[in-house]
Structure 1
């Protein structure tokens, strides 16, 4: 059986736990495709997995769910015409038979998993996925950029458009604005004609956040930003919060809200419970919602916005796959402005 390069983590631990190995190249089943991986992004979900902070995960796996590549081979039931196709991979492996799947909400399938959670992910030369998970990349979009279409761009569309139901003229607060999610959320909100107030704890990220299009940037190393948001909105508050940090920001985000605002939780950087003031939630009639993976419709919208230049992918660094540990270190230390992409061996 042919071999391929891959990176695995033999045990939970710090970023240097990764090991480059040679493993069997997967063989596609009848309804699967073998994809030669062009690039893979590092999501904070990967960081939590590697550190053993997601209960169902196990070590020894090939992580990675942000993947672009080229179809190398298709199974017996796949059309040969797809060989050579440039694709991104829809990151959730789903059943296709439950009410959620049949209704186009594969992101809510209870019999599903995120690619890479139990192996077979993007930190490798090849991966095998169901044919239905392949999403063609428009000719106008390069594969490096397309790597970010499903997550973070598609994830941001799900949160802002699908969950918060954002509309023209809304004021949007983005926390963790200098990260891989935040910088793309700013561009998305601008593309949809919304006003953006961006919060960061890092003065060094202010310039990049402004360049992404934020109308107001609040640098708040101490995490006390609600007063300035209140001032910037003429004591009206924001209509939507895209909460990427949560653990150290949720209380301030709630205090920054207008009446009937929508607070969408996408991340939990420290992976721990947080407290909130129910009186504030009740008094302002706030809606707090969770948001996760994109739908296929979100991914197609992401690819279109990226192909037309409405959203420009922001990459902090390209690293060889063998240096994935350095990428995780950068993510964990919050030194990144944008995404880290793995490319080449």
Structure 2
């Protein structure tokens, strides 16, 4: 089958589209014919590599997948061949206390499709049957592929970890990114006032259309000063932080007394300066959050069906254009998700 792979870590030149063996499902697994696969910054990080990341080359990229079940392995009663599905990107062992409690993202053997195991930027992917959730009929395959990783990440961070409450103010950085697009909508759904930042006025206007109440261009404005102005100097109750080094110090200063900063990523660097005086004196909570559970993704999909959350597809490109797609993502040239079709 054709797939977007890397055979070594490095720059864009290591990404290839070529032939790899077609996977077959084993016990408890399903094979899914991919109809659409969305990109994430995770694809760029996996391509570059980091200490401690171990993959088998050639490694297939891609965490967000929607498609049709082609074949099921022994012991699988559902889904069935022909079913349209969207894949939950996190895989737990299914046996430990965390998995049995529905908290597979806290499983010590937790893996992510496209990061630790073969991904879905290919013509076919094999996953545990429990990871294949029904695709909402009202969504195209491209729209469905734009949901899983970023909406799940934002939901678990805001609803599960930060526990956003009605009437609070939430600062969402990089509102044009996949996580940002999801977080603006989820914070509004939870009853919050949303201050959105982005690097262009065009992206900010699109964020407003998704529900953002206040807009800050962080390229032309000091976002800390603007947040304090917009909150009568109180600061925000919650910061959704996924930019990392570029915004971290400012995020701490933008938080209110007793505020919560929930971090889900570090796109611009993982080693920012943290002034602990602001943390302990102002009694801030710094919360880490990674992915979420399949149950949370099922809830997100329900809200999508009800029209309360909306995936945003920036553009659809053929699988052969995966290098171009990565370049657009690296340049922050998109609003929402870039989706590939085999």
Q: TM-score, normalised by structure 1?
A: 0.94
2:76 is aligned to: 78
Give the CA RMSD over aligned residues. 1.6
1:342 is aligned to: 340
Preserved CA contact (<8 Å) 2:78 2:129: no
Alpha-carbon distance in structure 1 between the residues aligned to 2:23 and 2:102: 28
- Measured after TM superposition, the shift of residue 146 of structure 1 is 1.6
2:106 is aligned to: 108
Alpha-carbon distance in structure 1 between the residues aligned to 2:221 and 2:80: 49
Preserved CA contact (<8 Å) 1:61 1:118: no
1:42 is aligned to: 39
Alpha-carbon distance in structure 2 between the residues aligned to 1:190 and 1:118: 33
Alpha-carbon distance in structure 1 between the residues aligned to 2:256 and 2:119: 41
Verify: 1:140 aligned to 2:148, yes or no: no
Contiguous gaps of at least 5 residues in structure 1: none
3-state SS of 1:82 partner = coil
**Residue 277 to residue 232, structure 1, CA distance change in 2 (3 Å):** same
Alpha-carbon distance in structure 1 between the residues aligned to 2:323 and 2:247: 27
3-state SS of 2:171 partner = strand
User: How far does the alpha carbon of each residue in 1:70-99 deviate from its partner, in whole angstroms, 9 at most, with x for none?
Assistant: 111101211276111111112122211112
3-state SS of 2:50 partner = coil
**Residue 5 to residue 295, structure 1, CA distance change in 2 (3 Å):** same
Within-5 A mapping of 1:171-320:
171-221=169-219, 224-320=222-318
2:14 is aligned to: 17
The runs of 4+ residues in structure 1 deviating greater than 4 Å are: none
Verify: 1:27 aligned to 2:24, yes or no: yes
**Residue 169 to residue 54, structure 1, CA distance change in 2 (3 Å):** farther
Alpha-carbon distance in structure 2 between the residues aligned to 1:324 and 1:198: 29
Q: TM-score, normalised by structure 2?
A: 0.95
Deviates more, 1:22-31 or 1:74-83: 74-83
1:117 is aligned to: 115
